[in-house]
Structure 1
Amino acid sequence: MNVSVANDAAWPEGVAENGLRVLVVDDNRQSAMTLKWAIEGWGDEVVACYDGPTALQIAREFRPEVILLDIGMPGMDGIAVCQGLRAAPETRSVKIIAQTGWGDDAMRRKTAEAGFDLHLVKPVNFDVLGDMLALLRMLPKSA
């Protein structure tokens, strides 16, 4: 069977009925795009960006239900982004997952205190991430 597609806009959205709106934030573009493609494969709508200030702007406009947020970014790090998200009424209740290479107790406390809901250690285990998102899909949708 031959299928021809002129451009990406021709592809269907492919978002599952209970799919999440997810924002992936990582200064490593390859990592961000890998996560984006994996999460889209599970039926969610995903936007990726690569720095903190852009993440805050996109979060206000896109209104994600989940943000997968790298901690160790240059400039505005993930802790500062999380605090900014929690301070704004329109993003205060979004579920935020820290993604970091640091999995020690001190960093887990730091991310919890900053307002992160979950902590995911890099390299990302896609089975664990898939389970996290599956649980979040079961939560009632915000109005």
Structure 2
Amino acid sequence: MDELLKKLEDDYVKAVKNNESKSIEEFIEQFLYDSWTYNEQNMQNIKIVLSRYTSGEIFQETLSESFNIMVDHLRVRLEQLDQEMHYPVLHSKHGASLLVAFVDGLVLQYYIGTYSADKLRELTPYLKSIILQGLKTEGDL
């Protein structure tokens, strides 16, 4: 595996494990703040990994496997925090991936200059509210 991709994966897993929040609400908020800070500090490494993927130095299967490992750790942690199932989406097959998609979409907007990291931090309470409301959606995916 690409060494830099492995570092990003390890950092992500470590951040999820080190988030000591005791509720989904606290976890989501901390996850958002951690995401803005991490991406701000590591954007160059993320760009390098994505460039290696685009050029074929990192295979799709490798990147996909790494992403799935990260999302699986997140899924387990979220399910642990929501044992009473107040947030049904988190217990679906795609729940953690949907959360990551939302956050990564904002990170992409940070990357292209739509939002600064400071603006994302400022928006975090509102973003947390939107995410939590969405996670309450009933139904199967």
What range describes the TM-score normalised by the shorter chain of this pair? 0.3 to 0.5
* Structure with more relative contact order (C-alpha pairs < 8 Å, separation 6 or more): 2
Higher helix share: 2
TM-score by length of 2: 0.34
TM-score (norm 1): 0.33
